[in-house]
Structure 1
Amino acid sequence: MAHEREHEEVRHTWFSEIMTAALNDLAHTERVITAFAAQEPNGFIAWGLAEGEAVQAHQALKQAPSLHAAVPSDRTAEDATADALFALARKVTQNLVRAAELAADPDDKAACLQAALHASRLREALR
């Protein structure tokens, strides 16, 4: 019985860490893309689709009940590139799928999968 409880606690801790990291990464990605779009004359045309998917992924993940108290950290947009954003979107997509597999709450699972869908679309928009 104690072993099962310890296993569940480890699983929940891992799930929480993945969810928080994904939320932070999506918030960061959203800010960076918005900054890129604002810097170029036609930036909102060039970056609009990616920005929309970043916003949708972030908002979808924020619907997870387990994240109601989590607040994204404030990271700067310095030295970010489209390649780095592409890699980050890929990592976030993979992490969200892992989090969905670990989720005990069906609403957490749905939020993770919805956010993963948008993060995957974000990755495609950044190609």
Structure 2
Amino acid sequence: MTHEDQHQDVRHNWFTEILTTALNDLAHAERVITSYAAQQPDGFIAWGMAEGEAVQAHQALRQAPALHAAPPTDHTEANATADTLFNLATKAAQSLVRAAELAADPDDKMACLQAALHAGRLRDALR
């Protein structure tokens, strides 16, 4: 294996790890926001924009061809707050931009950028 092959393997592994983590984070945010919305009398009014952006970010990222090769694992936490979700959305948006920079496949790059856009909107909705 040449140095260039090793570099490509490391880059691909890093890219896949970033995508998988972001996908898990977005799925978690979606579940928590939906749960909060269902538990409060005006929950869907208060959390509706955030829920929509979480769903859109998650669905956009699921379009990345690289994710079809390695299905993500599911990590669940019980009690998340709006601040935690805000931080999670911020981290996901940053990671997705980083992943887009690493993506070799234009469809992966587009999926990452679209998901980053929605993750950013999710973050804004949680302010």
Band the TM-score falls in, shorter-chain normalisation = over 0.9
- Structure 1's unaligned 5+ residue stretches are none
- The residue identity in structure 2 corresponding to 1:98 is R
Equivalent residue, structure 1, for 2:122:
122
Equivalent residue, structure 2, for 1:96:
96
- Structure 2's unaligned 5+ residue stretches are none
Per-residue deviation, residues 70-109 of structure 1 (Å, max 9, x unmatched): 1340413x22000000000000000000000000000000
* RMSD between superposed Cα atoms in Å: 1.1
Matches within 5 A, 1:51-90: 51-68=51-68, 69-76=70-77, 78-90=78-90
Aligned residues: 126
2:28 paired with 1:11: no
- The residue identity in structure 2 corresponding to 1:106 is P
Please list every run of at least 4 consecutive aligned residues from structure 1 whose deviation after the TM superposition is greater than 2 angstroms. Answer: none
Q: TM-score, normalised by structure 2?
A: 0.96
Q: TM-score, normalised by structure 1?
A: 0.96
* Whole-angstrom CA distance in 2 between matches of 1:105 and 1:4: 18
State, as a whole percentage, how many aligned pairs show the same letter: 72
Q: Is the 8 A contact 1:23 1:72 kept in 2?
A: no
